[in-house]
Chains A and B, each alone.
Chain A
């Protein structure tokens, strides 16, 4: 928590240097500090299309450079950046469609019992793809990127209640779809 506050203060200081001193090196530091997670966010959103994710990440950073005067510090810089990135993604996503999970709630039957040869990671990936797009997006931001529900609501421009609902529902569906793994674990426990 203290680390995260210290990181936020460093970001804030770099933003001030860019805004007042028009210092591109300060912005370069911001890019270096955040590019990893922004690109990871886009790679997940674009289902592993690394080239498209990097193009979009570049676009997001250029937009952040242009809009830096609008950053008032209400949210952490990283959260603000995720919001810009997600907005860039949505713009492209509306024009072009990537293969994503459909939004219907019917596909939650447990997967066939996995054999030991099948990795849990693969099953989890498959199960994630069977969630609705909103559930996948909320779980990505809340769990994998480590944002709070409030921060995820800000990034995704969704009401807080909707974010909480998608998170709870998504986790419940994953649990149901991966229940076979749970059974195998219990059988193996002496």
Chain B
């Protein structure tokens, strides 16, 4: 089957299709049926983020890695723990930037 046959059949099918149906009060009927819209509550997301931060903080509090990394970072010493900490902070910042950009595009 070549392209011209394809085009012929497609043209016939398009011709046979009646196209868009006139409104005739349909939109008004739909609008009368709409239930009130519920706004999505923001608190579950916020609570989840706070719980996540708290859990991270608690689990890292007992390890010397975070403390040592922070001390080394402050004193300008590039130890393995300081670099790890910097990489984590940079990664989280990039993630936050990406998420913000995506949200901005959506709106």
Contact = CB atoms under 8 A, between A and B. Distances in A.
Contact of A171 (B6, B17, B18, B23): B6
A39 B107 contact: no
Contacts, number: 91
Interface stretch (A1-9, A53-61, A84-92): A53-61
B16 A65 contact: no
A43 B10 contact: no
A58 B20 contact: no
Contacts of A58: 26, 29-30, 33
B39 A31 contact: no
A142 B70 CA distance: 59
Contacts of A178: 9, 12
Interface string A29-70: 001100111011001100000000010011001100110010
What 7 A-B pairs come out closest when comparing CB atoms?
A36-B20, A144-B17, A39-B21, A31-B27, A143-B13, A61-B30, A32-B27
Interface of A: 16, 18, 20, 22, 24, 27-28, 31-32, 35-37, 39-40, 43-44, 54, 57-58, 61-62, 65-66, 69, 72-73, 120-121, 124-125, 128, 139, 143-144, 168, 171-172, 174-175, 178
Given A66-B37, A124-B12, 17 more contacts: A22-B39, A24-B34, A27-B31, A28-B27, A31-B27, A32-B27, A35-B26, A36-B20, A73-B106, A121-B15, A121-B16, A124-B16, A139-B13, A144-B13, A171-B6, A175-B1, A178-B9
